[in-house]
Amino acid sequence: MSNEWLKEAGFETLAIREGLNPGFEQEHSDPIYATSSFVFESAEQAAATFSGERDGNTYSRFSNPTVSVFEKRLAALEGGQEGVATSSGMAAILTLCLTVLRAGDHVICSRNVFGSTVGLFNNILTKLDISVTFVALRELDDWRQAVTSNTKLFFCETPSNPLCEVGNIREIANIAHDSGALLAVDNCFCTPALQRPLSLGADVVMHSATKYLDGQGRVLGGALVGSEELMAEARGFVRVCGPSMSPFNAWIFSKGLETLQLRMDAHSQRAQALAEWLEAHAGVKKVNYCGLASHPDHALAASQQSAFGGVLSFEVDGGRDRAWGFINAVRLMSLTANLGDVKTTVCHPASTTHGRLTDEQKQQGGITEGLIRIAVGLEDLEDLKRDCERGFAAISA
Ligand SMILES: *Cc1c(COP(=O)(O)O)cnc(C)c1O
């Protein structure tokens, strides 16, 4: 923690006050250090800064004061020692993998992770002779059975997209640690406002800051949070390989963190109300939202999250035609695969986010043709219901 007087501060205070550099005290809103490099007073000072003897910035691929604010603030909110910011969420996962893995190593990953995460493990890391086994997020025995003598990393995303399945972070961490591996959790869907994986035993938290940390769909970014030792290595990777976060984007994310708790609570309240309304709707076969008592992971979600997040999915009868009919009839919700925005978004997972899966993989993952995902934004709930009614009316004939 960088600021002494914040030692006992609560989450919402840290979200607003943590991380500011001493040099920022003149501006009430954090300034943006839009500079690629930094100047020195003397050759001696330059040498000491480059060698690391003296704290300070040299070049923005290595570090930048505006990016440091975001890193410190996010680390405090996740309850971790340090954070490392990256240019996107995928860059954060790549940084993590190339920090903790080497040729010959093995990864165990939950099956319903973000599509590009699957691509990274299957198509890119395999070139470096790093292998992966995908397992069902909820099946602890599957995690146990997948362990090999080379397993170094467990990776999961919970709750999952779009079925809102929940993995038991504490148990998965225990299995990882018993086999000498680390557990990394993609905390994109909950953010630290709703779930803090490090406090449940995970070793690293990974973020696509692009989603709820920004919260308004403006810029790309990512981050890792973990121990000082691990983050020093990750920082070394970013420094040399260059997937660094831009200072402008870091400023957006730090501003986003200031309202994170309020927004996540509001997303969760609306999603809960919409899920309950959909569940009672005659046009709906099934609703997947871990805030519903009918969801198989409701109790687990309630035990490790403070609320259930903004993403839900539901199934309509009649497969793709009727799901597309619903989506084509809504007017307010944006048809896009993005999420974590104040604007509500709607998509058909089977033909977009999960479109590249084989039929068998879709069936295994529960991605049916009648499934529709809604990432609930912050518009008026009544308007969202009215928009859904447009969709149901179009397919009820
Ligand atoms: C979007 C997303 C990512 C990838 O993040 P980018 O910022 O788009 O690179 C990773 N994980 C999850 C859960 C995501 O939603």
Cα distance between residue 160 and residue 105, in whole Å:
25
**What CATH number belongs to 261-396?**
3.90.1150.10
pLDDT attached to residue 28: 82
Ligand 1 centroid distance, CA of 158 (Å) = 13
Confidence of residue 361 (pLDDT cuts 50, 70, 90): confident
CA max distance for the chain: 79
Looking at the predicted structure, is the pLDDT value of residue 22 above 90?
A: no
Mean pLDDT, residues 112-132: 95
Ligand 1 centroid distance, CA of 119 (Å) = 12
Q: Which atom of ligand 1 is nearest to the CA of 92?
A: 9
Give the three-class secondary structure for 110. strand
Number of helical H runs and strand E runs in the chain: 15, 12
Cα distance between residue 277 and residue 140, in whole Å:
32
Q: Which tens digits make up the pLDDT trace of 273-292?
A: 999 999 999 999 999 999 99
Q: Whose CA is nearest to atom 12 of ligand 1?
A: 114
Cα distance between residue 160 and residue 264, in whole Å:
17
pLDDT attached to residue 1: 44
What's the chain's average pLDDT? 95
Q: Which tens digits make up the pLDDT trace of 314-333?
A: 999 999 999 999 999 999 99
Thinking of the domain 4-258, which architecture would CATH place it in?
A: 3-Layer(aba) Sandwich (3.40)
Looking at the predicted structure, is the pLDDT value of residue 260 above 90?
A: yes
Mean pLDDT, residues 288-304: 98
Residue spans in the chain of domains classed CATH 3.90.1150.10: 261-396
Cα distance between residue 170 and residue 371, in whole Å:
30
Mean pLDDT, residues 179-186: 98
Q: Which atom of ligand 1 is nearest to the CA of 90?
A: 9
Q: Which of 194, 208, 218, 220 to mutate to test the pocket of ligand 1 (most atoms within 8 A of CB)?
A: 208
Looking at the predicted structure, is the pLDDT value of residue 23 above 80?
A: no
In the chain, the N- to C-terminal Cα span, in Å, equals: 60
The rounded Cα 43 to chain-centroid distance in angstroms is 42
Q: Which atom of ligand 1 is nearest to the CA of 220?
A: 7
Ligand 1, CB cutoff 6 Å, lining residues:
88-90, 114, 116-117, 157, 186, 188, 208, 210-211, 220, 222
Six token digits for residue 248: 């402008």
The crossing angle, in degrees rounded to 10, of helices 89-100 and 228-241 is 110
Sheet strands (E) in the chain: 82-86, 106-110, 131-135, 151-157, 182-186, 204-208, 222-226, 286-288, 311-315, 334-335, 345-347, 371-375
CB neighbour class for 228 (10 Å; exposed up to 12, middle 13-18, buried from 19): exposed
Cα distance between residue 163 and residue 250, in whole Å:
31
Residues 6+ apart with CB under 8 A from 211: 89, 188, 189, 338, 339, 340, 341
Residue spans in the chain of domains classed CATH 3.40.640.10: 4-258
Six token digits for residue 247: 């200072």
Place of tokens 């070049």: 59
Looking at the predicted structure, is the pLDDT value of residue 297 above 70?
A: yes
What's the predicted TM-score (pTM) here? 0.96
Q: What is the DSSP letter of 30?
A: P
